[in-house]
Amino acid sequence: MRRADRLFRIVDELRRRRRATRASDLASLLEVSPRTIYRDMTDLMASGVPIEGSAGVGYILRPGYHLPPLMFDADEIEALTLGLRIVQSWTDPAMAEAAGRAIDRVRAAVPDELERRIGDLALFAPPRQHLGAEYRIDTGPYRRAIRDRRVLELLYEDENGRRSERRVRPLGLLFYGPKWLLAAWCELRVDFRSFRLDRVAAMQTLDERFRPEPGRTLVEFFDRWIE
């Protein structure tokens, strides 16, 4: 890693962390010695970056400092581009269009060498229109319901073909390629449930809104999910 890239990573790590970070932790992350981190900290402070701390105590970046935008290395560029291509292929048209604009914006902002790398990137996501109809799910209404915290009414079909009507609080969308799942609080079961979107026979967004409540949040859904 170039020294300039390492200095950028140090500042970025400090910016994202709210507590003092030890030089040894940064050294392990960046695969250098703690002594190298000490020298880098001295140089960053001398250049005006508002870092506070010292060896043996840890370092913290004062709030309000902003890094130049779109300073990505080659691996980060590949990760962003692949992620955006997956979004283009596997989400609703509005998100797909936004992902395309984001790729164009990244390509316009990075140096020529990295822009060429995006063009040559041999990482793709298969277009869902080549698959069956059950994969072509419009996630837009679900995204909006999650964002606006609106209750949904679902006509849901289970794996045995039995249908039931559900009132749910939509909490999040989970992509288990190629299937989409809706994480929700189900009022019928009075518990968390996940619903495969390809099994939703009908969906209606209600005017009724809900508020986050203890025991019914996405964080608690995941706590239950991984048990």
Contacts of 92 (CB under 8 A, 6+ apart): 138, 139, 140, 143
* Range from 1-15, 89-103, 209-223 carrying the lowest mean pLDDT: 1-15
CA atoms in the 13 A half-sphere facing the CB of 136: 8
Q: Give residue 57's pLDDT.
A: 87
Contact indicator for 47, 39 with CB cutoff of 8 Å: no
CA atoms in the 13 A half-sphere facing the CB of 224: 14
Q: Give residue 122's pLDDT.
A: 72
C-alpha of 67 from chain center: 20
C-alpha of 136 from chain center: 22
Q: Give residue 202's pLDDT.
A: 96
Judged against a pLDDT cut of 80, whether residue 133 lies above it is answered with no
pTM, whole model, 2 decimals? 0.63
Q: Write out pLDDT tens, residues 93-115.
A: 888 889 988 888 788 767 777 77
Judged against a pLDDT cut of 60, whether residue 69 lies above it is answered with no
Average pLDDT on 122-137 reads 64
Average pLDDT on 150-163 reads 95
Instruction: For the chain, give the percent of residues with pLDDT over 70.
Output: 91
Beta-bridge partner residues of 58: 54
Query: pLDDT class for 201, splitting at 50, 70, 90?
Result: very high
Judged against a pLDDT cut of 90, whether residue 155 lies above it is answered with yes
Judged against a pLDDT cut of 90, whether residue 188 lies above it is answered with yes
| Average pLDDT of the residues of the chain | 86
